[in-house]
Every structure is written in structure tokens, then in C-alpha cells.
Structure 1
């Protein structure tokens, strides 16, 4: 990855819908070499997908809940079933397996506490869990999909 590739990634992280001519101009290339670089970055996996970021408030999803889960089960059968259960819940937008006191961390977006309660009941009825701790976000201070490129 060279300086031009980093510039392309930086620009696409800001706006993946940028027209090719504008992207090429911004990174100091002509359109064809710029397009080839974008294609290569996609083929090599540097760009995994291009998406539209939606405004949760316009979709009536103003409540964000961080859910820490501990379990006493750590066998592969339970793991597969739990991953399937959580992955099938559309309100769960982030799902991490952790090292430390909690085994899993979920980020859930819902319109209100009643909707979260339905998600919670789906979680506890579908899997054996030792502890579920829910923390409701009061204010979003920083949220970005933009990754730092200094380490590439």
C-alpha cells in the first residue's frame, strides 16, 4: 500500500459514493489508474464493502444499549447455537466475543425500552446465560466507521 492507496481509502471512508473523476482528482491520479487501484484494493480485501450509513433517529432507533453477557457454557455446540441466535436478531448491530470479565458484548439499537425488553427476552429464552448486564447510552459523543490508516 502506498500513499495514493491511503488517499483513496481516506476519501472513500468519508464518502464511498464520490464520483470516480472527483476521487481521482483528489488523490492526484487520472481516472483509469485510480479505478484500477480501487479495484485492486477491493480484490485484496482492503475494501470489504461499500455501504450507506443510515441515520438511526430517522428510523426511530434512538435508544442504544450495550449488553454484556457472561455464560457458564463454553463448548462448541453452545457457542454455535448462541452465535446463531444473536446473529438472527436484527436489533443487534455489533456482536463481539471478549476476553475478560464479560464473555460477549452486544450493541443493540431499538426505538424504546419496551423494544429492548423483547430483545432481552429473546436472548434469555434462546440460550443459557449466567449474567446479562444492560447499559443504556445517554449521549453519543463519538461514533465513526472511519479507521485510522497510519498502521497500514
Structure 2
């Protein structure tokens, strides 16, 4: 069971994964070795799934977010499997969700400009049978974070506590 120290460790790592174990330990009130053990356990238990670098989208020339709403008349497992595989081949697709409601799938695509999106769109509809594709272009990114809220993790007063 995760406790408040684990939550603080995760929060720090979500903000900056380059922090040293000694720095994290200092900030959460532990010595280095117990902090290192907690981080290792958080990884083993699946709380930490990867450590990555966030790249500045403007520096790599993909400033445009396009939200693509997809409808299809195909609802078989085989079609979904093939669709997911094909979409996975497009590096421009950074997120893909199966939705409830009016839209079957929603994806976020990042591209340099409208011409690049048009090229992506034409390749997508050539490779995948879709009923309807509707694209919305983000005019401004108001909030963006990769950090998840940690307030909803189980009650820290219950369950076993990790050793200090």
C-alpha cells in the first residue's frame, strides 16, 4: 500500500526524473538507501512504468495538435486489432482512445502544419476503412501536463507501510 512518502517520491519523479536519489531522499525526509528501495519497489509494483525525457514540440517541429474523432461501422475484435496495429505505425498519433457515445475512437495527432496533417489523413483513410473522420485543430494549448494526480491513491493510513 502506498503511503505519503511514496506519494511524495512519485510527485517529485513526475516533475523531474533527473533528480538524484539523494536529492529525492532529502526532500521526502529519508536517507538515500531506503529512498532508493522505495523507488525500486514503486517500479516493481508498476507505479512507475517508464522514465522518459519530454521533448519540446516546437524544437522538433510538431507544434500543431489535431484531435481526430473517428466513427466506424466495424466493431469486431479483428477490425479493432488491425486498426490499433495500423494506427501504431503512425508516429504522428501520440494518443488513441476507444470511446463511449457518438464517437468510436479519438486520437491526438501532432504535425508541423495543415499540409502535413492532410498527408497523414490521406494515408490513414487509404489504409483503414472508416465511416466518418472529423478533425479539430487546437488553437492554443492552455494546460498540459504528464503528471498524474496522486490524491486518489488508497488511504495512506490503511495497509502496510514501506520501511524507512
Q: Which of the five TM-score ranges fits, normalised by the shorter chain?
A: over 0.9
Instruction: Tell me by how many angstroms 1:100 deviates.
Output: 0.8
- Local SS of the residue matching 1:109: strand
Instruction: Tell me by how many angstroms 1:127 deviates.
Output: 1.1
- Local SS of the residue matching 1:10: helix
- Specify every segment of 5 or more residues in structure 1 that has no aligned partner in the other structure, as ranges: none
Instruction: Tell me by how many angstroms 1:136 deviates.
Output: 0.3
The one of the two structures with greater contact order (alpha-carbon pairs below 8 A, sep at least 6) is 2
What are the residue-to-residue correspondences of 1:2-151 with 2, within 5 Å? 2-151=3-152
Q: How many residues align?
A: 152
Distance 2:123 2:31 in 1: 52
- Specify every segment of 5 or more residues in structure 2 that has no aligned partner in the other structure, as ranges: 154-164
Instruction: Tell me by how many angstroms 1:119 deviates.
Output: 1.1
Instruction: Tell me by how many angstroms 1:89 deviates.
Output: 0.3
Distance 1:12 1:87 in 2: 28
* Poorly superposed stretches of 4+, deviation over 3 Å: none
Distance 1:3 1:134 in 2: 42
2:161: which partner in 1?
A: none
Distance 1:40 1:87 in 2: 30
Distance 1:16 1:64 in 2: 25
TM-score normalised per structure 2: 0.91
- Local SS of the residue matching 1:94: strand
